[in-house]
């Protein structure tokens, strides 16, 4: 989900008596951010770049990937204006036929600065004429927030899956749960409250909103949601 907060600008003396509404300024910031990794087996010297739209970061970030060997590549992200910025490293662990496994470690800059460790499993379909088709994938991801917006830590684990919607457009959807912040059985209960009589003893010290702002905290279920659309603008061979 998107994270945002609103500043209301006070009415000036010039507006008094006219009943004008206050000007509302929206400053968008991200809850957490995740990398856009390569979904192809990159060869040494290959590079690719593009941009990603994600619900958790609101504004897009641009990314660039470079293969430092046939089994390793690095990614760099620059958020707009800053949140979403980060770096990650991918390494090919297994490859056979139309299947391959990749491990990725990533660091992201945002209010709930997070570190991800993900194990991806890719599979490339074959078309009717036996040519290479679209690639799909899923991954197990561990997510760690060492110091979130409230200065506390959060450890999460979950799954993601992704695929291609065209030659240049891909998607990825995931959720990563903090079992110390709420029971997963209550994930879809919109009335669940950390401060209720039955919850405050166990979960009272893990508020889902930052008291200083309406932003989701490091413990919020919203911080664990990830959905991104990524666009590949160019991919160059060595």
Question: Could you give the CA distance from residue 223 to residue 238 in angstroms, rounded to a whole number?
Answer: 38
Residue with tokens 């910025």: 85
Give SS3 for 201: helix
Q: What is the pTM of this model?
A: 0.84
Residue with tokens 């662990």: 93
The answer to whether the beta carbons of residues 117 and 105 sit under 8 Å apart is yes
β-strands 3-9, 23-29 pairing: antiparallel
* Confidence at residue 125, expressed as pLDDT on a 0 to 100 scale: 87
Closest alpha carbon to 219 in 187, 180, 174, 171: 180
The answer to whether the beta carbons of residues 220 and 30 sit under 8 Å apart is no
Identify the DSSP state of 85.
-
* Confidence at residue 131, expressed as pLDDT on a 0 to 100 scale: 63
Burial of 232 (0-12, 13-18, 19+ CB in 10 A): buried
Per-residue buried b or exposed e for 89-128, using 16+ beta carbons within 10 Å of the residue's own CB? bbebeeeeeeebbbebebbbbbbbbbebebebbbebeeee
Identify the DSSP state of 179.
T
* Confidence at residue 1, expressed as pLDDT on a 0 to 100 scale: 44
Residues 154-190: tens digit of each pLDDT: 999 999 999 999 889 999 999 999 999 999 999 999 9
CB-CB neighbours of 26 under 10 Å = 9
For the chain, which residues score pLDDT lower than 70?
1-30, 127-132
Which residues 6+ apart lie within 8 Å of 177 measured at CB? 156, 157, 158, 184, 187, 221, 224
* Confidence at residue 19, expressed as pLDDT on a 0 to 100 scale: 34
Give SS3 for 214: coil
What is the set of domains in the chain, with CATH numbers?
32-236 (2.40.160)
Residues 186-217: tens digit of each pLDDT: 999 999 888 888 888 889 899 998 888 778 89
Which residues 6+ apart lie within 8 Å of 61 measured at CB? 33, 51, 52, 54, 77, 78, 79, 80, 84, 85
């Amino acid at each position: 989900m998107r994270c945002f907060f609103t500043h209301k600008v006070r009415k000036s003396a010039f507006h008094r008596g006219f009943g004008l509404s206050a000007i509302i300024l929206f400053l968008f910031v991200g809850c957490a951010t995740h990398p856009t990794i390569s979904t192809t087996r990159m060869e040494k010297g290959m590079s690719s770049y593009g941009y990603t739209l994600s619900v958790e970061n609101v504004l897009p970030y641009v990314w660039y990937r470079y293969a430092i060997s046939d089994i390793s590549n690095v990614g760099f992200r620059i958020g707009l204006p800053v949140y979403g910025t980060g770096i990650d490293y991918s390494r090919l662990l297994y490859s056979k036929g139309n299947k391959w496994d990749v491990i990725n470690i990533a660091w992201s800059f945002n209010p709930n600065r997070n570190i991800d460790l993900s194990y991806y499993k890719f599979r490339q379909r074959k078309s009717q004429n036996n040519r290479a088709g679209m690639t799909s994938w899923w991954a197990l991801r561990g997510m760690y927030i060492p110091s979130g917006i409230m200065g506390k830590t959060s450890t999460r684990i979950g799954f993601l899956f992704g695929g291609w919607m065209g030659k240049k457009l891909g998607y990825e959807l995931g959720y990563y749960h903090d079992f110390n912040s709420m029971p997963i059985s209550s994930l879809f209960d919109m009335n669940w409250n950390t401060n209720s009589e039955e919850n405050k003893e166990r979960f009272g010290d893990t508020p889902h909103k930052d008291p200083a702002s309406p932003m989701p905290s490091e413990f919020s279920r919203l911080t664990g949601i990830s959905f991104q659309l990524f666009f590949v603008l160019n991919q160059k061979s060595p």
